[in-house]
Amino acid sequence: MRSILMLAFSLLFISPAAHADDFMAVKQSPHSVSKTLDRLTAVMQKKGLTIYARVDHAAGAKKAGLVMKPTELLIFGNPKMGTPLMLAKRTIGVDLPLKVLAWQDDAGKVWLGYITPAALKARHGVTGRDEIFKKMTGALDKLTNAAIKAELFFEVCCSSGGPISVKTGIRSDGRQHEDVRKIFRTDCI
């Protein structure tokens, strides 16, 4: 029974039709699973959010003798937002602190997803806290967008006596896409 539930749960997240809906927001990341959550953790810490745990599901699967593509869960929160929600409806505590899941699908694409605040509100029947849910929605969108943002780079390369070239592009998942143009020949100082 447990295996069936785990399979059903994992199929939800590897669906090629992953997208934002009323239940879950899903965004594609150009980074690896680990780097995506590293970036998310950094931006959350910068904003003063509390990181409670990071769970590596693939490592857990490996310990059980199973194979799973990279899948990690980040558990985080802000008691200033979460506590008023729990005071309004204590059952929402089963879904708080909030969680964000990053996973690699069978095609090698990386996804970042979370249950929407609207879904949490509806699931628990929370009333009178619309402003908090609105703030949560905006914050989750901004934080996850920052985590999946591609890294732009600009680099000038010069070797003594050689040409100067400029490399530009987008770095993602440790790979470098470059457009190299020789600008002019000169001695490097």
Same domain, 179 and 104: no
Same domain, 180 and 110: no
Same domain, 57 and 114: yes
Question: Residue 189's pLDDT is what?
Answer: 42
Question: Residue 160's pLDDT is what?
Answer: 56
Question: Residue 86's pLDDT is what?
Answer: 96
Question: Residue 14's pLDDT is what?
Answer: 38
Same domain, 105 and 156: no
Same domain, 178 and 103: no
Same domain, 160 and 97: no
Question: Residue 29's pLDDT is what?
Answer: 97
Question: Residue 170's pLDDT is what?
Answer: 47
Same domain, 132 and 160: no
Same domain, 86 and 171: no
User: What does DSSP say about strands 175-176 and 163-172: parallel, antiparallel, or unpaired?
Assistant: antiparallel
Count the domains in the chain: 2
* pLDDT per residue as tens, the chain (189 positions): 444 334 334 433 433 334 556 799 999 999 999 999 999 999 999 999 999 999 999 999 999 999 999 999 999 999 999 999 999 999 999 999 999 999 999 999 999 999 999 999 999 999 999 999 999 999 999 999 999 998 765 555 555 555 555 444 544 444 444 433 334 334 444
Question: Residue 142's pLDDT is what?
Answer: 96
Same domain, 118 and 134: yes
Same domain, 11 and 83: yes
Same domain, 102 and 78: yes
What domain range is 90 assigned to? 2-148
Same domain, 92 and 167: no
Q: Establish whether the linkage from the previous residue to 16 is cis, with ω within 30° of 0.
A: no
